[in-house]
């Protein structure tokens, strides 16, 4: 343990400060495809019984009309967050009219690209902008890639914790700048160590053969309809998932907040020749919002993002630049197809300890090629993380066996898990850490290995996923909401529909002018 980490833990362990750890906030976003009872992509519109995808706070769509996204509020205890996520699932299942929620991250057998429906958000300017943005994603990356689903885990530490440590360390920055710097330091350590999360929780070692659309690949055939890699943990997070030649040269630096926001601001203002050649419009039909490397900053694919809650009409980078980092969004988590919610409390408890370790441990700048080695380690684990004897590269350039390094990391996280347990008078975090150590000792216990075990018993990827989807449907439908929660969801549904109708009833400016103003807004922010 570093001296800095020891001092920070000792300070937080003092009786007057221990309660700060129980003030962390958690939120979860879970994406999942709607499919019919045979496991085919649902081509029905977003169910009106779920409310407006534009204005509903908890139930929306991501890329496709068929790709639901469930969004929780924030809570101090991840158990409360998961309870809310479960209620959203229960309400949704009561409205699905025989459809299912697809259980894994990698999609079902998809129809041809043209048939996959892009999400629609109505006739208001902001609704149209969201639709055109998705048309641009289809043009740039294809619709198939956009049907991959995941779990985003939002996490923040209380401002009181940052203020306490700033005073103790004699830092003279503003409170906002210190907090932002510490979150960016967390992200640097996350980049160093997130390969561990992919080993422990990666759950996409196989996929439906049709996903590759006849493109060349290095996957192996498990059966006539299933492709896989024998030691893979998360093909979703490999170069088979989201990939972009335009973004390949975009490497936002996490050495400070300004360098991160500057690189994204530059990307949303820099034309990319192939996108220029495609054009913004074909006649009066919009094809994409612009011809730049990124249409908007959220198009940048990353495993973790610094975030700040935005005001109405404000863009994410504007919020970060004006008010600093408020929380981080972890974006690399696969959906575990064995779990009804795709994630459980044990995983959440470990992620909390892992993120707190990243926040409190010393975090040197990413220099001398370390950024590239972090990426190499991550990609090695997603493609072959369970391969016996797999070696990764440490910051000092030394080669180390994954199993040994993972064990070291878990031991360094242990005091943080113990401190978290002290703050909530329990043992849940140490128990979660112990379960992760068991996966390091025995790779067959990992979700990716468990999935391949099922598939090797004679099920195709699609058969396995459909079986799990049906099991989860039975689970949720057997546990309907109580009257109070049902009424609250019904009210939120009706209110969201009314809000969309109100938006669409207002006089609207010319859409071209609306898009131009939206694009200009990011460039107008003072550096």
What are the domain boundaries of the chain? 22-386+451-523
How far is Cα of residue 288 from the mean position of the Cα atoms in its chain? 24
Tell me the pairing of strands 281-282 and 399-401.
unpaired
Per-residue confidence band for 278, with pLDDT thresholds at 50, 70 and 90 = very high
The CA-based dihedral angle spanning residues 477, 485, 308, 243, taken in that order and rounded to the nearest 10 degrees? 10
- Percentage of the chain modeled with pLDDT above 90: 87
Side-chain half-sphere exposure of 503, counting CA atoms within 13 A: 17
**Residue 336, phi-psi category: left (phi > 0), alpha (psi -120 to 50), beta (remainder):** beta
Residue 526 has pLDDT above 50, yes or no: no
**Residue 135: predicted pLDDT:** 98
- Please state, in angstroms and rounded to a whole number, the distance separating the CA atoms of residues 169 and 158: 17
* Residue 468 CB coordination number (10 Å): 21
| pLDDT at residue 519, as a whole number | 85
Half-sphere exposure of 379 (CA within 13 A, CB side): 13
> Which is more confident, 240 or 424?
424
Residue partners of 273: CB distance under 8 A and separation at least 6: none
Question: CA–CA separation, 187 vs 307, rounded Å?
Answer: 11
**Cα 450 to Cα 291: distance, rounded to the nearest angstrom:** 43
Indicate the SS3 state at residue 219.
coil
Q: Evaluate if residue 312 carries a pLDDT over 90.
A: no
| Beta strands, E only, 99-147 | 100-101
Residue 141 CA neighbour count, 13 Å, CB half: 26
Q: CB–CB of 307/317 below 8 Å?
A: no
pTM given for the model: 0.96
Helix ranges (H only) for 236-344 are 257-267, 273-278, 316-323
Residue the block writes with tokens 């949704």: 92
Three-state SS for 505? helix
The residues facing 282 across adjacent strands are: 285
Helix (H) or strand (E) holding 181: helix 175-193
Crossing angle for the helix pair 428-441 and 345-360, to the nearest 10 degrees = 90
Q: Which of 20, 95, 22, 107 minimizes the C-alpha distance to 63?
A: 107
Which helix or strand (DSSP H or E) is residue 68 part of?
strand 67-71
**503 conformational bin, left if phi > 0, alpha if psi -120 to 50, beta if neither:** alpha
Rounded to whole angstroms, the Cα distance separating 102 from 32 reads: 6
Phi/psi for 290 (5° steps) reads -160, 180
pLDDT at res. 242: 53
**Tokens for 341?**
């919610």
CA distances in angstroms from 445 to 351, 429, 449, listed in the order given: 18, 19, 7
Strand order in the sheet with 226-228: 206-208, 226-228, 220-223
Tokens 């996280």 correspond to: 413
- Residue 247: pLDDT band with limits 50, 70, 90: confident
Kindly state the average pLDDT of the residues 5-15.
96
Residue positions counted in the chain: 527
CB contact at 8 A, 431 and 346: yes
Query: Residue written as tokens 């306490």?
Result: 164
Tokens of 24: 């962390």
- Does the structure show a pLDDT above 80 at 243? no
Tokens (6 digits) for 442: 């025995």
pLDDT at 1 over 80: no
Bridge partners of 215? Answer: none
Rounded to whole angstroms, how far apart are CA atoms 78 and 58?
A: 17
Rounded mean pLDDT of the chain?
A: 95
CA 64/CA 70 separation, integer angstroms: 14
Average pLDDT value for residue range 441-448: 98
Could you read off the pLDDT of 384-412 as tens digits, one per residue?
Answer: 999 999 999 999 889 999 999 999 999 99
Which CATH number among 3.40.50.2300, 3.40.50.2000, 3.30.590.20, 3.30.465.10 corresponds to the domain 22-386+451-523?
Answer: 3.30.590.20
Q: Is the pLDDT of residue 419 over 60?
A: yes
If one compares 518 and 473, the residue with the highest pLDDT of the two is 473
């Amino acid at each position: 343990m570093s001296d800095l980490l020891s001092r920070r833990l000792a300070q937080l362990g003092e009786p007057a400060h221990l309660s700060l750890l129980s003030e962390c906030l958690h939120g979860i976003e879970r994406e999942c495809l709607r499919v019919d009872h045979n496991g085919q992509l649902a081509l029905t519109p977003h169910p009106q019984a779920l409310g407006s995808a534009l204005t509903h706070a908890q139930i929306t769509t991501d890329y496709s009309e068929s790709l639901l996204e469930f969004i929780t509020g924030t809570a101090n205890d991840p158990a409360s967050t998961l309870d809310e996520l479960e209620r959203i699932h229960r309400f949704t299942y009561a409205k699905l009219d025989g459809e299912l929620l697809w259980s894994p991250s990698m999609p079902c057998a998809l129809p041809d690209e043209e048939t996959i429906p892009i999400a629609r958000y109505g006739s208001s300017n902001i609704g149209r902008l969201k639709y055109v943005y998705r048309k641009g994603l289809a043009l740039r990356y294809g619709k198939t890639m956009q049907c991959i689903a995941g779990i985003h885990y939002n996490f923040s530490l209380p401002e009181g914790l940052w203020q306490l440590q700033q005073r103790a360390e004699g830092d003279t920055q503003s409170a906002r700048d210190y907090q932002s710097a510490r979150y960016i330091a967390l992200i640097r350590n996350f980049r160093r160590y997130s390969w561990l999360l992919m080993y422990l929780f990666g759950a996409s070692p196989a996929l439906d053969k049709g996903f590759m659309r006849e493109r060349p690949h290095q996957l192996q055939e498990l059966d006539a309809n299933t492709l896989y890699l024998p030691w893979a943990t998360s093909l979703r997070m490999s170069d088979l998932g989201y990939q972009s030649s335009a973004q390949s040269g975009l490497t936002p630096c996490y050495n400070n907040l300004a360098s991160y926001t500057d690189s994204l601001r530059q990307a949303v203002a820099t034309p990319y020749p192939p996108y220029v050649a495609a054009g913004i419009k074909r006649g009066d039909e919009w094809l994409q919002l612009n011809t730049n490397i990124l249409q908007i900053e959220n198009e940048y694919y990353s495993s973790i993002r610094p975030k700040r809650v935005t005001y109405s009409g404000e863009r994410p980078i504007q919020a970060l630049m004006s008010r600093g980092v408020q929380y981080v969004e972890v974006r690399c988590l696969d959906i575990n197809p064995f779990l009804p919610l795709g994630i459980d409390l044990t995983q959440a408890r470990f992620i909390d300890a892992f993120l707190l370790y990243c926040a409190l441990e010393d975090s040197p700048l990413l220099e001398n090629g370390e950024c590239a080695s972090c990426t190499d380690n991550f990609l090695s684990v997603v493609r072959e993380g369970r391969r016996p004897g797999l070696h990764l590269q440490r910051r000092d350039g030394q080669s180390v066996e994954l199993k040994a390094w993972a064990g070291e990391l878990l031991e360094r996280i242990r005091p943080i898990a113990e401190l978290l347990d002290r703050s909530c008078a329990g043992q849940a975090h140490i128990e979660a850490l112990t379960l992760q150590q068991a996966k390091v000792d025995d790779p067959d216990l990992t979700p990716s290995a468990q999935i391949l075990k099922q598939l090797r018993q004679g099920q195709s990827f699609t058969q396995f996923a459909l079986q799990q989807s049906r099991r989860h449907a039975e689970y949720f439908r057997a546990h309907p909401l109580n009257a109070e929660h049902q009424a609250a969801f019904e009210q939120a549904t009706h209110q969201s529909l009314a809000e969309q109708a109100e938006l669409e009833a207002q006089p609207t400016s010319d859409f071209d002018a609306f898009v131009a103003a939206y694009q200009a807004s990011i460039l107008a922010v003072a550096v």
